């Protein structure tokens, strides 16, 4: 039995189904992220675990206890809100001491434990300040300290880093993960940022439109997405669809865009199957001359984006389908002009293949899902 078990929960607001039959688990001490675009139901799911929303259907168990119908104040939950929700009328010390006060911990012990937890989040000497005098990153640590000080069963975090600027956000990622490991606390983390989820989580659950699309280790989700949505949402990839044919005996995918792909051996395909391949931008190779590599095809450069750490090539196939290629550490960018013909190739084992649910899927959606 897992430590946190979310079983078939559904939440309907009137006619709108915000969360639709979602199940997932978290082991003790595990860091699980709920990842998805805005409006996918991830925050509602988190709020149901906290007890701030009551599920229409389904069960939530924490450490074997059915807490589905319990109000938040009768669950042992530490929650970090998106805007921290630090009480402006209380000092940092009073804020962090609040959950202890609610549990009847005497004042002296409270101060001691607050000082101790502030030490552990590396923010000593702010106890008597007002939270409004702290920087965003410091407020973040205070919110975390406040959610951890009473040693709750589960730590819930709702996009806690989204209000910070990029550099600070990346620092806080490391910091949140360190603190989580140090406290060994089971954590459920909501984010729309794939990098954030991947950097911190043991496991990621991807939500789409209220439903759970896939859950697993970041590596599994990235390398073998089991749905079109996940393949498009995670990472930057271009999608080409087509039908399987066997011109030389081995099955190949003849895409609607006119490019033929040799499929990885692990894919069992029979003639006539409708499949999609997802081309991960960074797994494509681009060169000026044909190299004879497998799955090589010509494309025309539409634009190039030099981003420093990587360069993006927005290419166009003969039929106008767009394709993104990303090269890391690429410096020769100036020699590629819009209108140039280049040769793009991809080893069969780097193709992500998914079966088309709808048959007449329009091919070639150059999906940029996360920035």
Partner 1 sequence: MSERHETRAEDLRPASSQPLRFRVWTAVLRADPVVRGIQVVKRRERLLTVLQAGLGLAWMALFLLAPLVYILSLSFWQRGAGGTIVYEATVANYQEILLQNVDLLGWQIGNTYLLILWQSLKFGFLTTVATLALGYVPGYFLGRTESRYRSLLLLFVVLPFWVPLIIRYYAWILVLGNDGLITTVLGWVGVASNGYLYNDVAVVTGLVQVLLPFMILPIYNTVNKIDDEYIESAKTMGASPLRAFYEVTLPLSLPGISAGSILVFILAVGSFMAPALLGGPANMMVANLISQTFGQAFDWPLASAMAMVYLVVLFAIITVFNRFVGLEEVFDQ
Least Å from the CB of residue 213 to partner 1: 28
Alpha-helical regions (H) of the chain:
42-50, 92-102, 107-120, 136-148, 166-183, 194-200, 218-223, 228-233
Question: Which of the ranges 48-56, 132-140, 222-230, 270-278 carries the binding residues for partner 1, by CB under 8 A?
Answer: 48-56
Looking at the Cβ atoms of 3 and 87, the one nearer to partner 1 is: 87
Structure tokens at 53: 């929303």
Residue 244 to residue 262: CA distance in whole angstroms: 10
Instruction: Name which of residues 269 to 298 contact partner 1 (CB under 8 A).
Output: none
Looking at the Cβ atoms of 79 and 205, the one nearer to partner 1 is: 79
Least Å from the CB of residue 189 to partner 1: 15
Answer for the pair 299, 291: CB distance below 8 angstroms, yes or no: no
**Does 54 help bind partner 1 (rule: CB under 8 A)?**
no
Among residues 11, 30, 33, 51, the one that binds partner 1 under rule CB under 8 A: 51
Number of Cβ atoms within 10 Å of the Cβ of 103: 10
Size of the site for partner 1 (CB under 8 A): 25
Identify the three-state secondary structure at position 312: strand
Residue 223 to residue 345: CA distance in whole angstroms: 18
At a CB cut-off of 8 Å and minimum separation 6, what does 349 contact?
264
Instruction: Name which of residues 68 to 87 contact partner 1 (CB under 8 A).
Output: 71-73, 75, 77-79, 81-83, 85, 87
Looking at the Cβ atoms of 84 and 233, the one nearer to partner 1 is: 84
Structure tokens at 356: 């088309």
Among residues 28, 103, 288, 355, the one that binds partner 1 under rule CB under 8 A: 103
DSSP 8-state class, residue 3: S
How many angstroms separate the first and last alpha carbons of the chain? 37
**Could you tell me what percentage of the chain is helix, strand and coil, using 3-state DSSP and rounding each to the nearest 5?**
25, 35, 40
**Does 89 help bind partner 1 (rule: CB under 8 A)?**
yes
**Does 52 help bind partner 1 (rule: CB under 8 A)?**
yes
Question: Which of the ranges 98-106, 117-125, 197-205, 327-335 carries the binding residues for partner 1, by CB under 8 A?
Answer: 98-106
Among residues 14, 64, 88, 249, the one that binds partner 1 under rule CB under 8 A: 88
Instruction: Name which of residues 153 to 182 contact partner 1 (CB under 8 A).
Output: 156
**Does 98 help bind partner 1 (rule: CB under 8 A)?**
yes
In 3D, which of 234, 162, 169, 217 has the Cα closest to residue 191? 162
Note the Cα 357 to chain centre separation in Å. 23
Least Å from the CB of residue 164 to partner 1: 17
Residue 154: C-alpha distances to residues 3, 47, 49, 147, 344 (Å): 9, 13, 9, 9, 47
**Does 189 help bind partner 1 (rule: CB under 8 A)?**
no
Q: Which residues are near partner 1 by CB under 8 A?
A: 50-52, 71-73, 75, 77-79, 81-83, 85, 87-89, 98-99, 102-103, 146-147, 150, 156
């Amino acid at each position: 039995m897992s430590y946190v078990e979310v079983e078939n929960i559904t939440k309907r607001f009137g006619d709108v189904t915000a969360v639709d039959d979602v199940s997932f688990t978290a082991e003790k001490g595990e860091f699980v992220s709920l990842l998805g675009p805005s409006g996918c139901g991830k925050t509602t799911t988190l709020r149901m675990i906290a007890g701030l929303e009551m599920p229409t259907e389904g069960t939530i168990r924490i450490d074997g206890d059915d807490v589905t119908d319990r109000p938040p104040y009768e669950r042992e939950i530490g929650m970090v809100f998106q805007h921290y929700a630090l009480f402006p009328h209380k000092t940092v010390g009073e804020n962090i001491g609040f959950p202890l006060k609610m549990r009847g911990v005497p004042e002296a012990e409270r101060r001691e434990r607050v000082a101790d937890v502030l030490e552990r989040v590396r923010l000593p000497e702010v106890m008597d300040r007002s939270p409004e005098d702290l920087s965003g990153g410091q407020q973040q640590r205070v919110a975390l300290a406040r959610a951890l000080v009473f040693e709750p069963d589960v730590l819930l975090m709702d996009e806690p880093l989204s209000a910070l600027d990029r550099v600070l956000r990346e620092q806080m990622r490391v910091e949140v993960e360190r603190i989580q490991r140090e406290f060994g606390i089971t954590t459920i983390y909501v984010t729309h940022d794939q990098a954030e989820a991947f950097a911190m989580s043991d496991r990621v659950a991807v939500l789409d439109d209220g439903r759970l699309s896939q859950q697993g280790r970041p590596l599994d989700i990235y390398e073998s997405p089991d749905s079109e949505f996940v393949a498009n949402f995670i990472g930057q990839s271009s999608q080409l669809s087509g039908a399987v044919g066997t011109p030389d005996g081995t099955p190949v995918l003849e895409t609607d865009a006119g490019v033929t792909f040799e499929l990885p051996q692990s894919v069992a395909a029979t003639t006539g199957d409708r499949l999609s391949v997802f081309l991960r931008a960074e797994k494509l190779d681009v060169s000026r001359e044909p190299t004879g590599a497998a799955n090589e095809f010509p494309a025309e450069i539409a634009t190039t984006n030099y981003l420093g750490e990587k360069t993006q090539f927005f290419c166009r196939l003969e039929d106008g389908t767009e394709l993104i290629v990303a090269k890391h550490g690429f410096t020769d960018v100036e020699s590629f002009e819009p209108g140039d013909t280049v040769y793009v190739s991809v080893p069969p084992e780097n193709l992500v293949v998914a079966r088309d649910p709808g048959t007449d899927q329009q091919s070639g959606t150059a999906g940029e899902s996360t920035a």
